Amino acid sequence: MKPGAWLMTALIAFALAGQALAAGGGKPVEGFVDTRDGRVFYRIHGQGKPGLPLLVVHGGPGANMQYLRPLAALADQRPVIFYDQLGGGDSDRPDDPALWNTARFVDELDQVRRALGLRRLFIVGQSWGAMLATQYVLSHGQEGVAGLILSGPLLSAPRWIADQRLLLAQTPPAIRQAVEKAEAAQSYDSPEYQRAMDVYYRRHLCRLDPWPDFLQESFARLALPVYLAMWGPSEFTCLGSLKEQDLSPRLGELLMPVLYVCGRFDEARPETVGWFAAQTPQGRLVVIEGASHSHHAERPEQFNQALRDFMAEVEASHRPLK
């Protein structure tokens, strides 16, 4: 797409999205933002509600908005905006490995925010989405971001990898041995490795049995080229471009209130997430008991209430950025 054409489509999308956010009630509003690299699908719940908008940044990389469906309940108070990152969900899926990097996804988030006219807002990032959202405010500026919510956050790949090894050490010996054997042989499609993934995921990714339909649907649509390029064959085997990324030294630069949320059995271990919160000037931690990485699905009422309380407090305080 030529630069002039991109600018024109962005302006049109901005105008349409502004109308959608100003409208009242009714069904969710859906559409596409024409980014420089392809169309990005979005869905807005609660248009016209009085609270500050909440922009939802999903994880993966390569996942989609579907697994975060419980957050739509927050649209009774404010607009809740979901979008599928390029390469996944209902967004375009270009066949270009050069696109699968953090900097491009950060720029995409900025394009989505601008196109939808979200001048002042909250941002919630889940899992890899937490790294994406945090990198966005650190690189594009914190103006207009009233508060940041980081759910099961991947903020330091080295710490994440170390935590997965600690959690793997708590699994039965046969599971650990299967992982070690597959990693040594790079045989990630082996039945033994796949079985180890299943056991691990049911402990630390989602403890519900069966998994909710929306979570299964989201996994079924995982954009594997993106996930494999940026992360690897599983949550506990990281071979991709994110392997060395670490935002933890910069958490002290976050000036807005930041809510950290994780489950007691989360892949993002409470000890690590608590340490992140301690590095953040206005950071606070909520640990959801009995839940894991999918705490938003396992304990939706508790998760959503934590977000409601946090956003209500920030809105009431009207604290400007320092």
Dump pLDDT digits (tens) for 65-85: 999 999 999 999 999 999 999
Give all domains of the chain, ordered by start, each with its CATH number. Answer: 3-159+241-315 (3.40.50.1820)
pLDDT tier at 304, thresholds 50, 70, 90: very high
Q: What is the pLDDT of residues 190-220, one digit of tens each?
A: 999 999 999 999 999 999 999 999 999 999 9
Is residue 296's pLDDT more than 70?
Answer: yes
pLDDT tier at 301, thresholds 50, 70, 90: very high
Could you tell me if 65 and 204 are in contact, meaning their C-beta atoms sit under 8 angstroms apart? Answer: no
pLDDT tier at 2, thresholds 50, 70, 90: very low
Please give the pLDDT value at position 13: 41
pLDDT tier at 288, thresholds 50, 70, 90: very high
Strands (E) located in 46-196: 54-57, 80-83, 121-126, 145-151
Please give the pLDDT value at position 189: 95
pLDDT tier at 11, thresholds 50, 70, 90: very low
The rounded mean pLDDT for the chain is 92
Q: What's the maximum distance between 2 C-alpha atoms anywhere in the chain?
A: 59
Is residue 319's pLDDT more than 80?
Answer: no
Please give the pLDDT value at position 4: 39
Tokens linked to 139: 């690189």
Using the 8-state DSSP alphabet, how is residue 45 labeled? E
| Long-range Cβ pairs for the range 12-18 (8 Å, 24+) | 13/115, 13/116, 14/114, 14/115, 14/116, 14/117, 17/42, 17/44, 17/115, 17/116, 17/117, 18/116, 18/117
Is residue 10's pLDDT more than 60?
Answer: no
Q: Tell me which of 26 and 257 has the higher pLDDT.
A: 257
Active-site position among 127, 151, 156, 234: 127
Active-site position among 34, 84, 266, 296: 266
Residue range 285-297: mean pLDDT, rounded: 98
Tell me if residue 156 is catalytic.
no
pLDDT tier at 14, thresholds 50, 70, 90: very low
Range scoring the smallest mean pLDDT among 9-18, 229-238, 302-311: 9-18
pLDDT tier at 291, thresholds 50, 70, 90: very high
Measuring CA to CA, which residue among 64, 34, 38 is closest to residue 226? 64
Tell me if residue 163 is catalytic.
no
Q: Tell me which of 91 and 18 has the higher pLDDT.
A: 91
pLDDT tier at 321, thresholds 50, 70, 90: very low
Please give the pLDDT value at position 254: 98
Is residue 125's pLDDT more than 70?
Answer: yes
pTM score above 0.85: yes
Active-site position among 45, 58, 204, 293: 293
Q: How many residues does the chain have?
A: 322
In Å, how far are 61, 215, 219, 273 from 222, measured between CA atoms? 9, 11, 5, 25
Residue range 251-259: mean pLDDT, rounded: 98
Tell me if residue 293 is catalytic.
yes
Q: What is the pLDDT of residues 131-171, one digit of tens each?
A: 999 999 999 999 999 999 999 999 999 999 999 999 999 99
pLDDT tier at 110, thresholds 50, 70, 90: very high
Please give the pLDDT value at position 144: 97
